Amino acid sequence: MGRTPCCDRAAVKRGPWSPEEDEALRSYVQRHGSGGNWIAMPKKAGLKRCGKSCRLRWLNYLRPDIRHGGFTDQEDAVIISLYTQLGSKWSLIASQMEGRTDNDVKNYWNTKLKKRLLAAAATDAAAAAAVSIPRRSRPPPAVAVPRPPPTTATLTTSLFPALAIPTVKTETYTCDDFLAPTPAPAPAGDPFAAADGSATSASAASSASNWSSADTVAAGEAEASFFLLDFCAAGSHDLGAAAGQLQQQLPGGYYYHALDPSLSLV
DNA sequence: AATGGATCCAACCGCAGTTGC
DNA sequence: GGCAACTGCGGTTGGATCCAT
C-alpha cells in the first residue's frame, strides 16, 4: 500500500510560481505565519498549491533574509569543510551560513564546488606524477608525540568561531593529526580517485572524511601532510604559522583549513 | 541568426523522523 | 503501542538561460 499523498495532485497548481502567488504567500506568512500547518495554509491564503510547495517556496525563495548566488571564497571554504565533516547534511551546512538555504548550498555544491574539486584533484595528481613523489611513502616523523584521547569537544576555528561541530578531536593537535590516513581503495565510481585507484582527500571531501583532524580536510592530500610533517620535524609548533605557510605553498588548491592560531602542535 | 550542448537553479518527489490522537 | 498526519530533508528533474560553434 502506498503512502497517502499530501494533497490532491489534480487539484493543485504545479510548476513555477507567478508573482501574484508569491505575493499572496508572502503577505499571508508575514501576517499570520504558517500557522504551524503548511498543509492547511494554502487554502487560507487563497493559493491552489500543495502545502509542501508553499513551504518550499517560502523557505527557499521568499524569506526576507535570503541571499541568492554570489558565494564568497569564505563561504566556499565553509561548505567544503562542513561537507567533509558532515557529508551531505545540506540543512546543517546551510544553518551555519547566514542567508543561505539548503537548496542553494546543495545546488552550488553539485554544480560548481564539486567540479572545482574534481579539477583540482586532477591537477594535483598530474603534478604528483610529474615529480614522481611516492605518495604517502615517507618514513614516520622523527617527533614522537602522544595522541590525546578522542573527545566530543567543540571545535573552534577562525572562520566559524561559534560553530559547534561534533568532532572526535580535542583542541590539542599533534603532528600525527596532519598525516593522511592509510590509503584506502576508492569507492566504486569515485570521481576523485587517484590514478592508482586509491581514495584521495577529494574523495573524502565528497563522501565524508576519514582524516584524523577535522581541520585539515582536503588539505591537498599528501602534499599538505608532508608539508606539515616537515613543519613539525623542523621543531615548530606554531599551528597558525603552519596554516599560513601551507596556504602560500599550495595556493588555489581545493584544500581548506581554518586553523586557529591559538591552537598549537604538541 | 540558428542550433545544440552545457549550465544553473527552482521545484518536485519520496522517504524518514516527529508529533498527536 | 499503533496509526495517521505532518514536517523536514536529500536526491533528482526539467525548464530557462547561456555560450560556443
What percent of chain A stands above pLDDT 70? 40
Judge contact between A194 and A186, C-beta under 8 A.
Answer: yes
Q: What would the pLDDT profile of A182-202 be if each residue is shown by its tens digit?
A: 445 555 555 445 555 655 444
Q: Which nucleotide is nearest to A68 (CA to C1')?
A: B9
Q: Give residue limits of the domains in chain A.
A: 19-62, 68-266
Q: Is the CB of A63 under 7 A from strand B?
A: no
Q: Is the CB of A55 under 7 A from strand C?
A: yes
Q: Which cell numbers hold the place of A158?
A: 577562525
Q: What would the pLDDT profile of A94-118 be if each residue is shown by its tens digit?
A: 888 888 988 889 989 888 888 877 7
Instruction: Tell me which residue has cell 584524523.
Output: A212
Judge contact between A73 and A38, C-beta under 8 A.
Answer: no
Question: What is the pTM assigned to this prediction?
Answer: 0.58
- pLDDT values of chain A reduced to their tens digit, one per residue, 266 residues: 334 556 776 778 888 898 888 898 888 888 887 666 888 888 888 888 888 899 899 988 888 888 876 788 888 888 888 888 888 889 889 888 888 988 889 989 888 888 877 777 666 666 666 654 333 333 333 332 333 333 333 333 333 333 333 332 323 333 344 333 444 555 555 544 555 565 544 444 333 333 333 333 333 333 444 444 455 455 555 555 655 665 555 443 333 333 333 333 32
Q: Which cell numbers hold the place of A113?
A: 564546488
* pLDDT of A39: 84
Rounded, the Å distance between the CA of A116 and C1' of C13 is 23
Cα(A39)–Cα(A3) distance, rounded to whole angstroms?
16
Q: Is the CB of A210 under 7 A from strand C?
A: no
Find all residues with CB under 8 Å of A209, minimum gap 6, and list them: A84, A85, A201, A217, A218
Q: Is A185 helix (H, G, I), strand (E, B) or coil?
A: strand
Q: Is A138 exposed, middle or buried (0-12, 13-18, 19+ CB in 10 A)?
A: middle
Give the CATH fold of the A19-62 domain.
Answer: Arc Repressor Mutant, subunit A (1.10.10)
Q: Is the CB of A51 under 7 A from strand C?
A: yes
